[in-house]
Amino acid sequence: MSVEDSKPEGLTSPSESESVSTVLPGVSQPEAPPIPPKPAATPAKTTSELYAESFPKLRLGDIVTGRVVKRLPNAVLVDIGLKAEGVLSVDEFRNQDDAAEGREVKVYLEAFEDRDGFPVVSKKKADFQLAWETIKQKSESGEGVPATVIKRVKGGLAVEILGLDAFLPGSQVDLRPVPNLDDLMGKHFEVRILTVNWYKKNIVVSRRLLLEERQAQIRRELFTRLNVGDLIDGTVKTITDFGAFIDIGGVDALLHISDLAWNKVVHPTEVVNVGDQLKIKVISADPSTGRITVGLKQLTPHPWERVEEKYPVGSRVRGRVTTLAEYGAFVELEKGIEGLVHISEMSWTKSIHHPSQIVNVDQEIETVILNVDKENRRISLGLKQTLPDPWSSVDERYHIGQRVEGRVKTLKDFGAFVEIEEGVDGLLHIADMSWTRHVNHPREEVKKGQRIETIILGIDKDARRITLGLKQTQEDPFYTISKELSEGDLVRARIIDLPKPGVVVGLSHEIEGFVPLNQLARGGKKAKEKYQIGEELELRVLRIDLDNRRIALTERGIHPELDEPVEEPPERPERPERERRRERERYRDEELTDRFTIEDRLREFEEERYLED
């Protein structure tokens, strides 16, 4: 039962008494106003609804302005009006001042809470979304956007554009490869947006495309007013091994290493450096390829134009040794002009095998101009010509028959070279070493370094040859023995050899005599069995041949009773002429073989080669 049902009768509520009009007699009462209807009752809200209404209306994906409430070492707490603060990494703040407590920051709401109950927010995504429209517009139009180099990353550079991070590949930094990307840290320049990935939040930009377009425009304008032969100003931009690139008003021109100077340039840095201001000459300009070539050496006259006037043959000049080669030394007379001193022109007295025996690199020397070939740009120089030639007056200092003393310098198969003064050598042939002995090699008579006395046999000033004799320093023993012996004289001699044709005996003055088989008293057959080396014989002189230097002896007739009969060779039957001719040819071949051995051939070859040199 309700409260109203429990009221006693005759009692009314205040509201009911007010609603009843009191009518007084004689008094007109005003008309009561109408009573408005009561509003419909509002349904009661749940606790969760009332809790949700206490927070601002946020949706996932919204960009919310928050406030930094606390700065931690590696993170920042941001109040965005939710029950907990969002957490941002300090790496998302490019400017660390923006992460200070109390600063406002815009963040992207990714989730209301994570497993720990904290809202998930991102400053990087908020920045990207805020700049998205501008980035999209710049990317579609191809316009340049300002960029700042932040750091170096793998493959290129990280740059900031419109407040976002972007990747600038190393190949897109400049028109040519940049040797050191670290030099660009903090630099500001314009770039073009190449690609944008919304999901990965990646932006790739290029500076090279903008430079190429601008350079193409500048090049088109430049070619309209540039002519071959013009003198222009430029700045050295880049240096490579093959030359330097010159900036001539926004366009690069090649200054090749061969056009830097008239002289040889090993590396361009010998002449120019990066940043140098140069006046250069246009050598070529090709509008179709866009290539421009300039030269620096063309501003000065070619040093070879008047080389014959500046360096007449026979004049003495000083220069610096620049290069040593096996065949000689190159000497720089002036910038752009070099001459060659051949090793044969380095010394009158020494045998030069390499120029380092006489000169060194960077050494300053005096030379004589021997020849000038302007067409082939060659100058022959002489070093030994600065000193007197010892052979120029050799005929004044020496004469045939003069005795000279010298040092054995070199031994060859055909003889020995004897230095009679510095720069003047004479040849002592093996045939002029001994009167009596057959010399096979000069070491049988002389030794290297030995000082000997010789006689000059011949002088050829033009061929620079002097012939010497060693045996001529002594009297010819054949001439002496020819005075002591006569044909028919008896002599006693000892056997020194038993060759097949007869017996060789030793006479005075170291001269050998020969006894044929038919002149032996004991018979010619089997002489080696009947005679012994060292045995003394009594002999008679048959013949003395001074021209052929031979002495023939006989043992027969001295003691006739001891002479054995000589057996005459049996008569040979008559042979046909063809066989006799073959026999003569065979005998001639054997004779030639005996006379000319391989050693003789080699000796003659060495001697001919020396005479040619």
Rounded percentage of the chain residues whose pLDDT exceeds 70: 81
What's the pLDDT tens digit per position in 313-358? 999 999 999 999 999 999 999 888 889 999 989 988 777 889 999 9
pLDDT surpasses 90 at 524: no
The whole-angstrom distance between residue 581's C-alpha and the CA centroid of its chain comes to: 71
Q: Which domains does the chain have, with CATH numbers?
A: 58-126 (2.40.50.140), 142-211 (2.40.50.140), 226-299 (2.40.50.140), 307-386 (2.40.50.140), 394-473 (2.40.50.140), 483-562 (2.40.50.140)
- Residue 82's pLDDT is 81
Is-contact 540 557, C-beta < 8 A?
A: yes
Binning pLDDT at 50, 70 and 90, where does residue 18 land? very low
Q: Give the model's pLDDT for residue 144.
A: 86
Q: What is the pLDDT of residue 126?
A: 80
Q: E strands, 385-489, where? A: 403-412, 415-421, 424-429, 451-460, 465-469
Say what the pLDDT of residue 595 is.
42
Q: In whole angstroms, what is the distance from residue 248 CA to residue 237 CA?
A: 10
What would the pLDDT profile of 384-395 be if each residue is shown by its tens digit?
A: 888 887 887 888
pLDDT exceeds cutoff 70 at 46:
no
Q: What is the pLDDT of residue 169?
A: 92
- Split at pLDDT 50, 70, 90, the class of 225 is confident
- Assess whether pLDDT exceeds 50 at residue 197: yes
Per the CB < 8 A criterion, the answer to whether 302 and 263 are in contact is no
Residue from 159, 135, 155, 137 nearest 207 by CA: 159
- Name the residue among 438, 437, 398 with its Cα closest to residue 418: 398
pLDDT at site 598: 44
DSSP assignment of 91-134 equals GG-SSGGGGSTT-EEEEEEEES--TTSPPEEEHHHHHHHHHHHH
Range with the poorest average pLDDT among 137-146, 288-297, 320-329, 370-379:
137-146
pLDDT at 440 over 60: yes
- Say how far apart CA 220 and CA 176 lie, in whole Å: 20
Provide the pLDDT for residue 605. Answer: 52
Query: How far is Cα 540 from Cα 507, in angstroms, rounded to an integer?
Result: 12
CA contacts within 13 A on the Cβ side of 356: 4
- Position 589 scores a pLDDT of 54
Mean pLDDT of the chain: 80
Model confidence band, residue 132 (pLDDT cutoffs 50, 70, 90): confident
Percent of the chain with pLDDT over 90: 20
Is 236 a residue whose pLDDT tops 90? yes
CB neighbour list of residue 124: distance below 8 Å, 6 or more residues apart:
92, 164, 201
User: How far apart, in whole angstroms, are the C-alpha atoms of residue 348 and residue 549?
Assistant: 41
456 contact partners, CB below 8 Å, separation of at least 6: 398, 399, 400, 401, 402, 404, 426, 466, 467, 468, 469
- pTM score > 0.75 for this model? no
Look up tokens 């067409």; give the residue: 375
* Confidence band of 603 (pLDDT split at 50, 70, 90): low
Q: 3-class DSSP state for residue 141?
A: helix
- With cut-offs at 50, 70 and 90, classify the pLDDT of residue 567: low
Assign 34 a pLDDT band (cuts: 50, 70, 90): low
pLDDT bracket for residue 407 (50, 70, 90): very high
Q: From CA 449, how far away is CA 270, in angstroms rounded?
A: 51
Tokens 């230097």 sit at which residue? 549
pLDDT at 54: 52
- pLDDT at 39 (0 to 100): 53
